[in-house]
């Protein structure tokens, strides 16, 4: 059997710090390959035995991780794989790759990073300050309030207690995104046939699913047409 060995990883010039993952192919006695990491002077920093995945005497792949202590100063190093002759212990086959050993002095000192302060999520809010509860309304009403809403947009309605909408207006108020702002809307509405209880209703829409994110209502009296 003719011994042979080659290294496919790491590639030449690869940077190694404290370990080397070595892959290759070999034909070896008892399928054993010795893998070493050496410094620039040839000193062995780490060594492991790798097993060739093949029938005895046949070529096959091998893989092994070789840990080693980090060098103080960056320098050229060598990853070497060798097959030993069992008769006299001499080297029957050898392959090597030149690599870069990264020294401790070459590594940047970790800098503390500031942990960002989480910004609490704020929900939508709608309040109505005018008209006053039980105010008598006819034809039109000016509605005022405070709100926090997606895109600062609200819908304001005048409706009967049963939910029938008599009039509606859209309003966009001034405020920084996520902040509370004051709003005002004029709502023209159709008077019901006769006087009856009603409601001024305002709401904000959720951008996620179109549902109502926040709302407010004030009971009022609708004067009616007669």
Whether residue 18 sits in one domain with residue 99: yes
Instruction: Evaluate whether residue 119 is within a structural domain.
Output: no
Q: For 52-152, list the strands marked E by DSSP.
A: 60-67, 75-84, 91-101, 125-130, 136-137, 140-148
Whether residue 98 sits in one domain with residue 138: no
Whether residue 72 sits in one domain with residue 18: yes
pLDDT digits (tens, 9 = 90+) for 133-184: 999 999 999 999 999 998 899 999 999 988 899 999 999 999 988 899 999 9
Instruction: Evaluate whether residue 149 is within a structural domain.
Output: yes
Whether residue 213 sits in one domain with residue 141: yes
Burial (CB < 10 A; 0-12, 13-18, 19+), residue 110, is exposed
> How far is residue 106's CA from residue 220's CA, in Å, rounded to a whole number?
76
Residue 95 clears pLDDT 70, i.e. is over it: yes
Q: Which of 52, 71, 104 is the last residue of a domain?
A: 104
Whether residue 129 sits in one domain with residue 93: no
Give yes or no for a contact between 166 and 188, defined as CB atoms under 8 angstroms apart.
no
Instruction: Evaluate whether residue 113 is within a structural domain.
Output: no
Residues 6+ apart with CB under 8 A from 22: 7, 9, 10, 35, 50, 63, 64, 65, 66, 79, 81
Model confidence pTM above 0.85:
no
CATH number, position 193 = 2.60.40.2550
Q: Average model confidence (pLDDT) for the chain?
A: 88
Whether residue 96 sits in one domain with residue 151: no
Residue 120 clears pLDDT 50, i.e. is over it: no
Q: Which of 41, 73, 104 is the last residue of a domain?
A: 104
Instruction: Evaluate whether residue 130 is within a structural domain.
Output: yes
Q: What is the pLDDT of residue 177?
A: 83
Instruction: Evaluate whether residue 112 is within a structural domain.
Output: no
Whether residue 99 sits in one domain with residue 20: yes
Q: What is the pLDDT of residue 116?
A: 54
Whether residue 76 sits in one domain with residue 11: yes
Whether residue 96 sits in one domain with residue 8: yes
Q: What is the pLDDT of residue 201?
A: 95
The number of distinct structural domains making up the chain is 2
Whether residue 194 sits in one domain with residue 141: yes
Instruction: Evaluate whether residue 48 is within a structural domain.
Output: yes
Q: Which of 69, 10, 77, 23 is nearest to 45 (CA)?
A: 69
Instruction: Evaluate whether residue 116 is within a structural domain.
Output: no
pLDDT band at 108 (very low <50, low <70, confident <90, very high): low
pLDDT band at 107 (very low <50, low <70, confident <90, very high): low
Q: What is the pLDDT of residue 86?
A: 75
Domain that holds residue 197: 125-222
Lowest mean pLDDT among 28-32, 109-113, 213-217: 109-113
């Amino acid at each position: 059997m003719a011994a042979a060995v080659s290294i496919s990883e790491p590639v030449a010039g690869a940077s190694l710090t404290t370990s080397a993952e070595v892959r290759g192919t070999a034909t070896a006695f008892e399928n054993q390959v010795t893998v070493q990491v050496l410094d620039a002077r040839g000193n062995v920093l780490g060594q492991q035995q790798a097993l060739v995945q093949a029938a005895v005497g046949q070529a096959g792949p091998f893989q092994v991780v070789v840990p080693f202590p980090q060098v103080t100063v960056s320098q050229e190093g060598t990853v070497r794989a060798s097959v030993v002759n069992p008769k006299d212990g001499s080297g029957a086959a050898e392959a090597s790759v030149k690599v870069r050993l990264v020294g401790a002095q070459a590594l940047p000192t970790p800098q503390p990073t500031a942990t960002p302060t989480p910004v609490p999520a704020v929900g939508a809010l709608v309040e109505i300050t005018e008209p006053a509860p039980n105010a008598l309304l006819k034809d039109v009403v000016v509605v005022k309030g405070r709100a926090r809403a997606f895109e600062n947009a609200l819908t304001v309605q005048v409706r009967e207690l049963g939910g029938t909408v008599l009039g509606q207006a859209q309003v966009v108020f001034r405020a920084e995104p996520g902040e509370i702002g004051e709003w005002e809307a004029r709502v023209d509405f159709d008077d019901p046939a006769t006087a009856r209880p009603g409601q001024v209703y305002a709401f904000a829409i959720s951008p996620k699913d179109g549902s109502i994110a926040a709302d407010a209502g004030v009971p009022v009296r609708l004067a009616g047409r007669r």
